[in-house]
């Protein structure tokens, strides 16, 4: 059976500063980068054939730093934009190379947009709007932060992409590593594990969290 590995990116600088990041491109923090070794050790005995990543730099850096610690292959990045691969001239990644991993990046796997909250301190927003409302904006299913996306909105872009590309690879017997942000991963876990709308608020994935699944072509089994 094919295996799926879902990995949340390493802690970014704004994560460290407790700010809403959303679509803002912030690099991985020094503290986050050091955790890459631990993730690599969790993947050391695993095999994966292809990698998908959010287009945000904190996710791309996570891919690079984890693969560097694995020390086997290097990544070659290609961008999937709106479901169509952007080719570099006539270049295409051949299958079966022992030297590198193909890494397909896409905005479809980006973090939810936090709209007008982006860049602002989370604790200050709790003082302004109240803890319950901010928690709903961050973890609820259909609550939109001001000018931003709900998890329902993220599901509408992330899940169709996942079905079209990632699940297709899994059905073809490929092992897949998917690196993304918290809410795009929560959307995918919601789909994989069939989490009800009202229960998704309880799902938390820490920075660097790694979830493993087996896929038999029809259903997923969560691996410890």
Q: How confident is the model at residue 170 (pLDDT cuts 50, 70, 90)?
A: very high
CA 171, chain centre distance (Å): 20
Average pLDDT, the chain: 91
How many angstroms separate the CA atoms of 74 and 78, rounded?
13
Average confidence (pLDDT) over 63-83:
85
According to the model, what pLDDT value does residue 92 have?
56
Q: What are the φ/ψ torsions at residue 119 (nearest 5 degrees)?
A: 90, -10
The CATH number for 37's domain is 3.40.50.1240
> Given a cut of 90, is residue 74 above it in pLDDT?
no
43 has a pLDDT exceeding 90: yes
Bridge partners (DSSP) listed for residue 88: 91
pLDDT in tens, 112-139: 999 999 999 999 999 999 999 999 999 9
pLDDT tens for 75-95 read 989 888 655 554 544 445 555
The one-character DSSP state at 162 is I
Cα gap 209→205, rounded to integer Å = 6
Give the per-residue pLDDT at 90. 45
Q: Domain span at residue 198?
A: 2-223
Q: Provide the b/e sequence for 5-43 (b: ≥16 CB within 10 Å).
A: bbbbbbbbbbbeeebbbbbbebebbeebbebbeebbeeb
Catalytic site residues?
9, 111
Stretch 160-174: mean pLDDT? 96
For residue 88, the model assigns a pLDDT of 45
First to last CA, the chain: 16
Give the total number of structural domains in the chain: 1
pLDDT for 97: 55
pLDDT at 11 over 80: yes
Of all residues in the chain, the percent with pLDDT exceeding 90 is 83
Compare 95 and 21 and report the one with higher pLDDT.
Answer: 21
């Amino acid at each position: 059976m094919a295996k799926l590995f879902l990995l949340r990116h390493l802690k970014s600088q704004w994560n460290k500063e407790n700010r809403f990041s959303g679509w803002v491109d912030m690099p991985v923090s020094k503290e986050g980068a050091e955790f890459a070794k631990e993730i690599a050790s969790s993947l050391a005995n695993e095999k994966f054939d292809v990698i998908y990543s959010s287009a945000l730099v904190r996710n791309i850096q996570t891919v690079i730093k984890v693969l560097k610690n694995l020390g086997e292959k290097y990544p070659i990045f290609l961008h999937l934009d709106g479901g169509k691969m952007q080719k570099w001239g006539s270049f295409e990644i051949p299958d079966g190379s022992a030297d590198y991993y193909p890494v397909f990046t896409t905005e479809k796997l980006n973090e939810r947009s936090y709209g007008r909250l982006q860049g602002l301190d989370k604790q200050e927003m709790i003082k302004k709007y109240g803890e319950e409302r901010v928690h709903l904006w961050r973890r609820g299913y259909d609550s939109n932060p001001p000018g931003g996306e709900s998890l329902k909105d993220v599901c509408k872009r992330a899940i169709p992409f996942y079905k079209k590309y990632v699940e297709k690879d899994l059905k073809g017997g490929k092992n897949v590593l998917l690196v993304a942000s918290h809410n795009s991963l929560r959307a995918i876990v919601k789909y994989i594990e069939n989490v009800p709308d009202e229960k998704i608020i309880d799902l938390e994935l820490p920075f660097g969290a790694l979830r493993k699944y087996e896929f038999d072509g029809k259903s997923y089994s969560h691996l410890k």
